[in-house]
Amino acid sequence: MKKTGALIIGGSAGSLDVLLKVLPQINRHLDFPIIIVIHRKQGTDSLLTDLLTHRTNLKVKEADEKEAIRDGYIYIAPSDYHLLVEKNFTFSLDYSEKVNYSRPSIDVTFQSASDVYGPRVVCLLLSGSNADGVNGLIFAKRNGGITLAQDPSSAQVAYMPEQAILKANVSEVLKIEEMANYINSLSTNN
């Protein structure tokens, strides 16, 4: 099995509840990073980091400019910045125009991570009310990556995963209760 390079999780309205259910079940010895891009209001950065830190055994931190991406960490995209993955496996933050009315944009992170990790990227799109992330899933799949969507029947706001299934031909659709096992199975440390 090919080693997973990175798991990128994107979501909007309703996605935090999913993360709070899934992250506590993630293996503490993951051999890849998890990068989370959630649409949220400015000024909620430390609250989200603190909340997720208390729900998982993995290290959780907000991604910083030029920071090296390390396995076993959960990185959170800062509010009001696009988060890009660079070829040297570091982050860069970008303040360019919004994409799909969003900054950070899930599409931007999915696409830049796919450029770097190619077929070793896994992109998961959760609950949300716009189509941000769908073009990124299409791009990731074209580059050989694994693309996943939350089962819309389990989403608080089904539009985002519905669009992913409809337009991006995702590799798999996961119920909330299936996500942790799926993520853990991506690690070679199981």
Interior angle at CA 8, CA 142 and CA 74, nearest 5: 160
**91 Cβ contact partners less than 8 Å away, ≥ 6 residues apart:** 63, 64, 65, 66, 67, 69, 75, 83, 84, 85
**169 Cβ contact partners less than 8 Å away, ≥ 6 residues apart:** 138, 141, 147
Beta carbons of 95 and 69 less than 8 angstroms apart: no
**185 Cβ contact partners less than 8 Å away, ≥ 6 residues apart:** none
Spot the catalytic one: 107, 112, 132, 187: 132
Beta carbons of 80 and 42 less than 8 angstroms apart: yes
Tokens of 14: 């309703």
Is 132 a catalytic site residue? yes
Spot the catalytic one: 12, 15, 114, 127: 12
Is 39 a catalytic site residue? yes
Three-class DSSP category at 60: strand
Is 12 a catalytic site residue? yes
According to DSSP, residue 27 is labeled -
Catalytic residue list: 12, 39, 132
